[in-house]
Amino acid sequence: QQIISPDQYIKHPLQNKWAMWFFKNDKNKEWTANLKLITAFDTVEDFWGLYNHIQKASKLPSGCDYSLFKDGIQPMWEDEHNKNGGRWLVNLNKNQRQTELDNFWLETLLCLIGEAFEDLTDDICGATINIRGKGDKLGLWTKDARRGDATVKIGQKLKERLKIPVKIAIGFQAHSDTATKAGSTARDRYRV
């Protein structure tokens, strides 16, 4: 009779439950109708089961997004958890879709589910990858744009984990600034 060790059948629980969302741009539908919840998971094994099963971000058509948010937070500014928050934004140029995009996104997912932000986990809402013809964007969303020290520490950790060169700055914008700034981009509240 074969003896199975507990490691072989007990999944590794995550600190938080996370929900993966998919957005597909269909101009004939309302924005919210284009946003679909794929699934929620709370173990390491279920994360990989999902990740290995879905299309890589670099293979998505232009106009699509993936988002990973804590369960109960919708990936939109209007959500109660996001409305006072903002995002660290990493802009990718066209060449980086082939070379960096999938690595950046996976690394960000591992930061979220592995709680890389440690005691600042309560500041974290989720992350989004936007696939766009004019340049893809990675955003790490936090819940309160006024929390300067925490926000800067989160940005530094993200930059370190993505191995973004020190000389390349990334910026953080409050959603309230982005929402009211039609056309051009909002000013950065913080940079690292």
Task: Note whether 160 binds another protein by CB under 8 A.
Answer: no
Closest CA to 163 of 118, 99, 68, 95: 99
Residue selected from 3, 6, 9, 182 as contacting another protein according to rule CB under 8 A: 9
x/- contact string, 70-109, with another protein (CB under 8 A)? Answer: -------------------------------------x--
Helix 44-53 × helix 101-113 angle, to 10°: 160
Judging by beta carbons within 10 Å of its beta carbon (0-12, 13-18, 19+), is residue 7 exposed, middle or buried? exposed
Least separation in angstroms between residue 161's CB and another protein is: 8
Least separation in angstroms between residue 16's CB and another protein is: 9
Least separation in angstroms between residue 104's CB and another protein is: 13
- Encode 31-66: b = buried (16+ Cβ within 10 Å), e = exposed: eeebbeeeebbbeeebbeebbeeeeebbebeeebbb
**SS3 label, residue 33:** helix
Q: Considering beta carbons, is residue 113 or 170 the nearer one to another protein? A: 113
Task: Note whether 13 binds another protein by CB under 8 A.
Answer: yes
Asked if 151 and 145 count as a contact pair (C-beta separation under 8 A), the reply is yes
Determine the Cα–Cα distance for residues 120 and 12; give it in Å rounded to an integer: 22
Which residues inside 121-150 make contact with another protein, applying CB under 8 A? Answer: none
Task: Note whether 161 binds another protein by CB under 8 A.
Answer: yes
DSSP state of 17: E
Which residues inside 21-50 make contact with another protein, applying CB under 8 A? Answer: 44-49
Stretch that binds another protein, among 6-14, 25-33, 93-101, 142-150 (CB under 8 A): 6-14
**SS3 label, residue 181:** coil
Least separation in angstroms between residue 45's CB and another protein is: 5
Chain contacts with another protein (rule: CB under 8 A): 9, 11-15, 44-49, 51-52, 107, 110, 113-116, 118, 161
